[in-house]
Structure 1
Amino acid sequence: MQREYTILVPTMLPMHFELMAAVFRKRGFRMEFLEDEGRQVDDVGVRYVHNDMCYPAIIVIGQLVDALQSGRYDVGKVALLIMQTGGGCRASNYLSLLRKALERAGYAHIPVISLNVAGLEQNPGFKISLAMYRELAACVLYGDLLMLLRNQCRVRECNPGDTDALTRRWMEKLQAQVSTARMSGRLFRETVQAVVADYASIPRHTKPVVRVGIVGEIYVKYSPLGNNNLEEFLFSEGAEVVVPGLLDFCLYCVYNNVLDHELYDMRKRSAWMWRWITRYLCRLKNDVIESIVEEGSFQPPSPFEHITTLPEKAGVLSVGMKMGEGWLLTAEMLELCEMGVKNIVCTQPFGCLPNHIVGKGMMRPVKDCYEDVNIVAIDYDPGASRINQENRLKLMLATAKRNMEKQNS
C-alpha cells in the first residue's frame, strides 16, 4: 500500500495536517489531504449519508466521495483514511457509514483505513511505529504554535501580509525538518524557540482589539469547510481569534483512559501506559509554554494539568463526563475566561447531543462563574444559512466591542 496507493485524507486543520503528511511521506506513503470545498461537498454528503447523521460525518464522507468522482484519481489505486477517537458519539460509526456510501456510489472495492488508538479496526497494510507517533506529536505542537502566534500577530501587524509570509516560510522549514531530521527533544525545543523569536520580530501595534475564542465539536471548531471559514470571518471583522490547540484534544482522548482506571476501575493493565503518554505529551506542551513565556510578547495557552481541574473547580461538571468533547469543551470555555477572552463562539453540529450538553448546556453555569462573558452558540448543518450564522456572529461582535469600549473608558 505504501508505494502503490494514493491515500486520501479529509482535511481538518490545514497547517497541522500538512506537517503530519510529511511524516508519512518520509516512510513512502503517498498521502494527499483533500482541499475540495463548496456546496457540492455538502450535496454529495447528503446524497450518500442519511441526514439524521451528524454534520461532520456528512461533510467528511461527502469530501471523500466527491474527490473520487472528480476523475483526478485512479480509483483502482486509491485508499481512504479516516481518523476516529472511538468515543461515545456517532463519529465511531464513520467507518461503516463511509463503506456504505462507497458501496452506493460504486466504489465498494476501495480500501478504508481507520487511524485511531481505540483498537476499532486493524489495518494490516498501514502501521504506525513509535517513532512516527513521536514525530506526529511534534507536528501537532508545531501546528498549534503556528496557529497561536499567527492569530496573535495577524490582527496587530503594522505591515499587512507579514504574518502570513512568515507562516508560509516556517511551514516550508518545518516540513523539511520533519521529512529529513530525526526528532529529538533538543531539536524540538530549539525549533520552538526559533519560531517564537521570529514571530516576535514582526512589527505590531498595541491598540486594543476584540478577542474571540472558538470552542465546540472538534471538526466544526477547526475545519474551515465545516465552519464556513469562521476564523477568516472573525479576522475580517477585526477580531483576534483564540483557538485551543489540537494537542489538548489529543491529551483529552489519552487522559480519559487514565480517568477510566481512576473513576471506574477499568483498564487495569494499560493504565500505566496511558499515564506515561499523558506525562510525555504534557511535557512537550509545557516546553512550548515555557518558550512563549520566556520571550514575553505573546499569551501562552494553559498547561493541560491545569485545564483538567477547571470544570470541577468551578463546580459545573465532572471529568467523568467524556461523551463527545465531554468535559474538555466546558474546560476550554473556562480556560478562555481565565485568559481574559470573554467572547466565545461555541460551534455545534446540529443534532449533536453530547456537544449540546457540554457546550450550549454549560453556557449558563459558565456565565454564573463569569458574569461578563459573551457566548454565542452557532449550529452548523447542510441546511443552515451562512448569512444567518454571520449575522449572529456580528451581533456577538457588536456586544464585544461595546464591552471593550466600556472597559477602556
Structure 2
Amino acid sequence: MFAKFTKDMKQTHTILIPTMIDPHFRFMQGVLRDEGYKSVLLKEDRANIVEEGLRSVHNDMCYPALLVIGQFIDALKSGEYDTHKVALLISQTGGGCRASNYINLLRKALEDSGFSYIPVISLNFGSLDENEFALGKKSLIKLMAAIFYGDLMMSLYNQCKPYEMTLGATNEIYERVAARIASMTNEWTFFRLKKNFRYILENFAALQRSGEQKIRVGIVGEIYLKYSPIGNNGLNAYLIRENAEPVNTGLMDFVLTCIYDAVYDKQLYGKGGAAYYGSLAVAKILEFFQGWLIEETKRYGFAAATPFGEVRAAAEGYISHGVKMGEGWLLTAEMVEFMKRGIENVVCAQPFGCLPNHIIARGMIRKIKQNYPQANIAAIDYDPGASAVNQENRIKLMLANANRK
C-alpha cells in the first residue's frame, strides 16, 4: 500500500515538483503557495538524474519517465531535504502511455530505493488516482492563467533572445517580469489577463533588437522532450547558438487538446453527453481568452500564436481527431500549422521507440512533404544511450538544408 498525503501534511511537508517548462511551473508554484502549500521546483542541472533514472526504471521504458523519476530520486538522495517531510507531485492526463503510468513507476522506484514512506500526489482532472491533489475552483482558474502567461513569455523570449543587441538583456527582462508575475498570483483573474499581458509585452517590446531575420525552426514532439532542457539537451538554447530562432507552440494547445478529447469522443463515438457539453464550454472559454492573448501580441508587433480552432483544422486531411495516444493528432496538426505559417524547418523531439510518435510524427512526414515539398523536418530520437553530438549533427544538417534554400 502506498503512502497517503493527508490534510495535516499541508503544514509539515514540502512538495517537490519536477521541472519541465519555464516559466509556467514557476507560476504554478505560486498558485500552490496561495493554497497554503510549501513547494520546491527541482534543479535541472544535476549530473546524476539520468544515472538515477536508469537505476530506478527499466531502460525499455519511456525516456521522459526515466528522467522525471531520476530527478525525484536524485533529489531525495541529495541530502537537501528531510525525506520524512516531503511529498512528490506528478501530473496525469489519463493518456494511454506515460501520462498514466509514471505514477506507478515512481512508486515502485521509491520502494526499491527505500523511500516507500514518501507520498506521491497525482495532479489530474479525471479521478485517476486515490492520492489526488485537490485545488479550489479559484486555483484552477489561476493555473489556466499561469499557462497563458507562461506561453506568452516563452514566445517573447524566443523572439527576442536571437536578436538582442546587448548580450544578456533578454534574460534580464525575462527574470524580472517572471518574478513580478509570480509574486502577484493572488491578483490573478481572467479579467486581469489583458492588463498582465500588456505588462509582459511592454517590457519585451522595449528591448533593442536587430533587424536581421534568422531561420525560424518550429519545435514539436512528445510534450516533455518538446519543452524540457533536461530531456532535449537544451534544444532551444542550441538553436539560438546556431543562429536560428526557435518557435515553440504553447502549453495551452496541449491543455485544449486534452479538453477536446471529450468533445471528439461524443462526435466520433457517441460517448459522454455531460462530459461533452462541459468540455466544450470550458474549451470555448479558454479559446476566447486565447484570442485576447493573440490580439495583444500582434498589437505590440510580435508574432502571435495561431488560434486553436485553426490548429484543430490543420489536422484535417492528415490524421483523425480520434487519434489520442501520446500527443495524438495535435503533433501532426502543429507540423502542418507551421508549414502554413511559412515555418518550413521543424525539429520533432521524440523518445526512442515511442510507438505513438512513430505514427503521429515520423509516420506523417511523408504526407506533409507531399503537400509541402519545401518541408525540412528532422525527427530526433532522445534516450539515455543517444549521443548529444549525433543529435546536434542531425539538427545542423537540417539547418544547412535551410540555409541552402
Q: TM-score range by the shorter chain?
A: over 0.9
Query: Could you tell me which residue of structure 1 aligns to residue 136 of structure 2?
Result: 129
Q: Supply the distance in 2 between the matched residues of 1:24 and 1:185 (Cα, whole angstroms).
A: 18
1:101 is the counterpart of 2:105: no
Query: Could you tell me which residue of structure 2 aligns to residue 173 of structure 1?
Result: 180
Q: Supply the distance in 2 between the matched residues of 1:22 and 1:279 (Cα, whole angstroms).
A: 26
C-alpha deviation, 1:273, in angstroms: 1.1
C-alpha deviation, 1:271, in angstroms: 1.5
Query: Could you tell me which residue of structure 2 aligns to residue 204 of structure 1?
Result: 209
Query: Could you tell me which residue of structure 2 aligns to residue 87 of structure 1?
Result: 95
Query: Could you tell me which residue of structure 2 aligns to residue 352 of structure 1?
Result: 354
Deviations 1:246-298 (A, max 9, x none): 01001111111111111111112222111111111111211100111222x21
The residue type paired with residue 300 of structure 1 is: A
For residue 228 of structure 1, give the secondary structure of its aligned residue in structure 2. Answer: coil
Residue of structure 2 aligned with 1:306, choices 293, 310, 315: 310
Query: Aligned pairs, how many?
Result: 397
Gaps of 5+ in 2: 1-8
For residue 80 of structure 1, give the secondary structure of its aligned residue in structure 2. Answer: strand
Deviations 1:43-63 (A, max 9, x none): 111111111110011110011
Deviations 1:64-104 (A, max 9, x none): 01111111111111101111111112331111111111110
Contact preservation (8 Å) 1:7, 1:31: yes
Q: Choose 297-306 or 194-203, whichever is displaced more.
A: 194-203
1:195 is the counterpart of 2:203: no
Q: Supply the distance in 2 between the matched residues of 1:104 and 1:304 (Cα, whole angstroms).
A: 43
1:320 is the counterpart of 2:322: yes
Residue of structure 2 aligned with 1:164, choices 164, 167, 171: 171
Query: Could you tell me which residue of structure 2 aligns to residue 78 of structure 1?
Result: 86
Q: Supply the distance in 1 between the matched residues of 2:182 and 2:19 (Cα, whole angstroms).
A: 17
Query: Could you tell me which residue of structure 2 aligns to residue 407 of structure 1?
Result: none
Q: Map 1:116-155; keep pairs closer than 5 Å.
A: 116-123=124-131, 126-155=133-162
Query: Could you tell me which residue of structure 2 aligns to residue 377 of structure 1?
Result: 379
Q: Choose 196-205 or 40-49, whichever is displaced more.
A: 196-205
Contact preservation (8 Å) 1:36, 1:67: no
For residue 315 of structure 2, give the secondary structure of its aligned residue in structure 1. Answer: helix
Contact preservation (8 Å) 1:57, 1:91: no
Query: Could you tell me which residue of structure 2 aligns to residue 335 of structure 1?
Result: 337
Residue of structure 2 aligned with 1:248, choices 248, 253, 263: 253
Q: Supply the distance in 2 between the matched residues of 1:2 and 1:336 (Cα, whole angstroms).
A: 44
Q: Map 1:244-283; keep pairs closer than 5 Å.
A: 244-283=249-288
Contact preservation (8 Å) 2:28, 2:143: yes
Identity %: 47
Q: Supply the distance in 2 between the matched residues of 1:263 and 1:247 (Cα, whole angstroms).
A: 23
Q: Supply the distance in 2 between the matched residues of 1:371 and 1:160 (Cα, whole angstroms).
A: 37
For residue 113 of structure 1, give the secondary structure of its aligned residue in structure 2. Answer: strand
C-alpha deviation, 1:210, in angstroms: 0.8
C-alpha deviation, 1:39, in angstroms: 4.4
Q: Supply the distance in 2 between the matched residues of 1:38 and 1:69 (Cα, whole angstroms).
A: 12
Deviations 1:340-376 (A, max 9, x none): 1111000010111001110111111111111111100
How much is the aligned-residue C-alpha RMSD, in angstroms? 1.2
Deviations 1:195-240 (A, max 9, x none): 2122122121211211111000000000000111111111111110
Structure 1 runs (4+) deviating above 4 angstroms are: none
The residue type paired with residue 397 of structure 2 is: L
Q: Supply the distance in 2 between the matched residues of 1:35 and 1:358 (Cα, whole angstroms).
A: 31
TM-score w.r.t. the length of structure 2 is: 0.96
Q: Map 1:43-82; keep pairs closer than 5 Å.
A: 43-82=51-90
The residue type paired with residue 396 of structure 1 is: M
Contact preservation (8 Å) 1:88, 1:323: yes
For residue 346 of structure 1, give the secondary structure of its aligned residue in structure 2. Answer: strand
Gaps of 5+ in 1: 404-409
The residue type paired with residue 202 of structure 1 is: L
For residue 237 of structure 2, give the secondary structure of its aligned residue in structure 1. Answer: helix
Q: Supply the distance in 2 between the matched residues of 1:343 and 1:41 (Cα, whole angstroms).
A: 31
The residue type paired with residue 199 of structure 1 is: F
Q: Supply the distance in 1 between the matched residues of 2:22 and 2:42 (Cα, whole angstroms).
A: 9
Q: Supply the distance in 1 between the matched residues of 2:343 and 2:350 (Cα, whole angstroms).
A: 20
Contact preservation (8 Å) 1:311, 1:317: yes
TM-score w.r.t. the length of structure 1 is: 0.95
For residue 362 of structure 1, give the secondary structure of its aligned residue in structure 2. Answer: helix
Deviations 1:299-341 (A, max 9, x none): 11100011111111xx111111111101000011011111111
